[in-house]
Amino acid sequence: MSRFYSPALTRRAFLTSAAAGAVGAMLPVSRQSPAIAAAVREIQLRVAPGRARLLPEPSSEISAWCYNGTAPGPEIRVRQGDRLRVEVENGLAEETTVHWHGVRVPHTMDGVPHLTQKPIGAGERFVYEFDAVDAGTFWYHPHQRSFEQAGRGLYGPLIIEEREPVRVDRDVTWVLGDWRLTKSGAVSEDFGNMHDIHHNGRVGNTVTINGRVPDTFAVRKGERIRLRLINAANARIFSLDVAGHGPVVIALDGQPVTPHMPDGGRVVLGPAMRADLIVDMTGEPGSRVSIIDRFYEGLEYRLVDLAYGDTPLRGRAPDWPMALPTNPLPEPDLKNASRNEIVFNGGMMGEIVAQDMGESMGQGAPGGMMRDMNPMMGGMMRMMNSGPAWFINGVAADEASHDMKPMLTLRRNKSHVIAMTNVTAWHHPIHLHGHSFRVISRNGQPTRHREWQDTVLVSPREKVEIAFVADNPGDWMFHCHVLEHQAGGMMAVFRVA
């Protein structure tokens, strides 16, 4: 019960103009009273237009939307069991919300406009308050017109540290961003265009790590790094090849998994997905090793180089244990689970697909810069200019209003299997709010690791089964995290009651 305790204090607050003046700062606050067991972390987030420097000078800064003046926003880092109190001030000229992606928060703190809260109007404030129940790598972003708000830079990392983390030399977060820039270097204004909505979403032409087009990342031989990858792109899928460095996956979507090498040595991340890796730096001093993104065939590019310094840290990789402590997730009981079928359809189909993907993706180039593109080219795309693009069990949702009748009602504290079939020609990263689920099978084959995820990448024509205990009461979003697919109707609500 207490895990989803809903704060009575939420609406109180912000009372003082002194507090209002303190925006832009992150203020860790020591415990307020000895009666409160967990530390309360007070954080201020101001959402506003700002500037971002994606490339070093002499390139200029671009206009972006920022949390506390930066894109991505500040890394929020707390310890498992802490309580977060985040005061959001909206300095945009439009409504926003903040969704704590993957964190099992109480319903009223989930940041979904209309469904869980009134959107935060221009100039307004809202306080989010919740416990960090699970340790892991999470992130935050708006849920209001997110295809534009996130596409302009509104997202940030939320790291919840284990009480006893695994031993590493360095704990590093990489927020992977994907920007669509015009020839003049500004953010392309073609948000939510029909071509993106009906195809693979707003795949950009400029990939960033922590808001910068990366060049090199300095490492030392023998060093062990915990690399927390967060795919914050609207639509881009990554398949990272860390050339012979045998990354070991220790967590997916924040949740611990049996440490293992990913298939083919590649770390595949759809939008919103995260992976925690242990990477042992086994290269020679002075050498360089490229990390290549190989997801889109024919469009491979070098994401960044690991640049080895001249002095090794140690002679060879340490043999420290890698397994993370488990999180308090309820185990689904598959024998007694109820079963629900979900079918995704819609989008452009058939032979135009391959040709068209090449058109909208641009060509690979060093540093993640790709040639400029015009997503509206190809007059045939104009034909499908209105109406919903994507359907879940035949229903397309209205993104603007988030006005949805529950598609499923799941009995609280019971186990549920959701069998999802993707009959479209496209990949969809499917996200459920308020819960983590086990991915139990793909195309009828049991998964090797029964991984816990909050977002599962479903390939074209694939069938994926997930299972979980519906222990968090409320109406929860279930949607594709290609933000243009979401805008095109690919979302639904599951009621847990």
Ramachandran class of 400: left when φ > 0, alpha when ψ lies in -120 to 50, beta otherwise: alpha
Work out the burial of residue 111: count CB atoms within 10 Å of its CB; fewer than 13 is exposed, 13-18 middle, 19 or more buried.
buried
Q: Is 431 in the site for ligand C2O (CB under 6 A)?
A: yes
- Segment near Cu ion (CB under 5 A), from 17-25, 43-51, 331-339, 426-434? 426-434
Our finding on whether 198 is near Cu ion (CB under 5 A) is no
For residues 40 and 137, what is the distance between their CA atoms, to the nearest angstrom?
19
Beta strands in 274-337 (DSSP E): 274-280, 288-293, 301-308
Rounded distance between C-alpha atoms, residue 94 and residue 436, angstroms:
31
Say which entry of ligand C2O, Cu ion, none residue 428 contacts (CB below 5 to 8 A, set by partner kind): Cu ion
CB of 282 to ligand C2O, least distance (A): 34
Q: How far is the CB of 369 from Cu ion (least distance, A)?
A: 26
Applying CB under 6 A, among 99, 198, 199, 224 the residue interacting with ligand C2O is 99
The CA-CA-CA angle for residues 130, 326, 172, to 5°, reads 75
Residue 482 in the binding site for Cu ion (CB under 5 A) = yes
Query: CB 140 → ligand C2O: shortest distance, Å?
Result: 9
Choose, by CB under 5 A, the member of 272, 480, 483, 487 that binds Cu ion.
480
Residue range at the interface with ligand C2O (CB under 6 A); choices 77-85, 176-184, 196-204, 473-481: 473-481
* Closest distance to Cu ion from the beta carbon of 305 (Å): 32
What's CA 25's distance to the chain center, in Å?
Answer: 24
State whether the Cα torsion 379-384-386-392 is positive or negative. Answer: negative
For ligand C2O, which residue of 83, 85, 107, 143 counts as binding (CB under 6 A)?
143
What pairing do the DSSP bridges indicate for beta strands 390-392 and 338-346? Answer: antiparallel
Tokens of 325: 């402590």
From the list 479, 480, 489, 496, which residue makes contact with ligand C2O (rule: CB under 6 A)?
Answer: 479
Residue 336: φ, ψ to 5°? -110, 20
Judged by CB under 6 A, the chain residues 253 through 272 that form the site for ligand C2O are 272
Q: Which residue is nearest to ligand C2O (CB)?
A: 101
Q: Does 245 bind ligand C2O (CB under 6 A)?
A: no
How far apart (Å, rounded) are the C-alpha atoms in residues 303 and 293?
6
Report if residue 431 touches Cu ion, rule: CB under 5 A: no
Smallest distance, Å, CB 314 to ligand C2O? 39
User: Does position 115 bind Cu ion by CB under 5 A?
Assistant: no
CB 398 within 8 A of CB 489: yes
> How many binding residues for ligand C2O (CB under 6 A)?
10
Tell me the longest C-alpha to C-alpha distance in the chain.
66
Residue 89's DSSP bridge partners are 46, 125
Cα 299 from Cα 308, distance rounded (Å): 27
Structure token pair of residue 188: 């392309």
* Stretch of residues binding Cu ion (CB under 5 A), selected from 14-22, 128-136, 185-193, 472-480: 472-480
Which partner in ligand C2O, Cu ion, none is near 480 (CB below 5 to 8 A by kind)? Cu ion
Of 145 and 221, the one with the shorter C-beta distance to ligand C2O is 145
* Positions that interact with ligand C2O (CB under 6 A): 99, 101, 141, 143, 272, 431, 433, 477, 479, 481
* Positions that interact with Cu ion (CB under 5 A): 428, 480, 482, 485
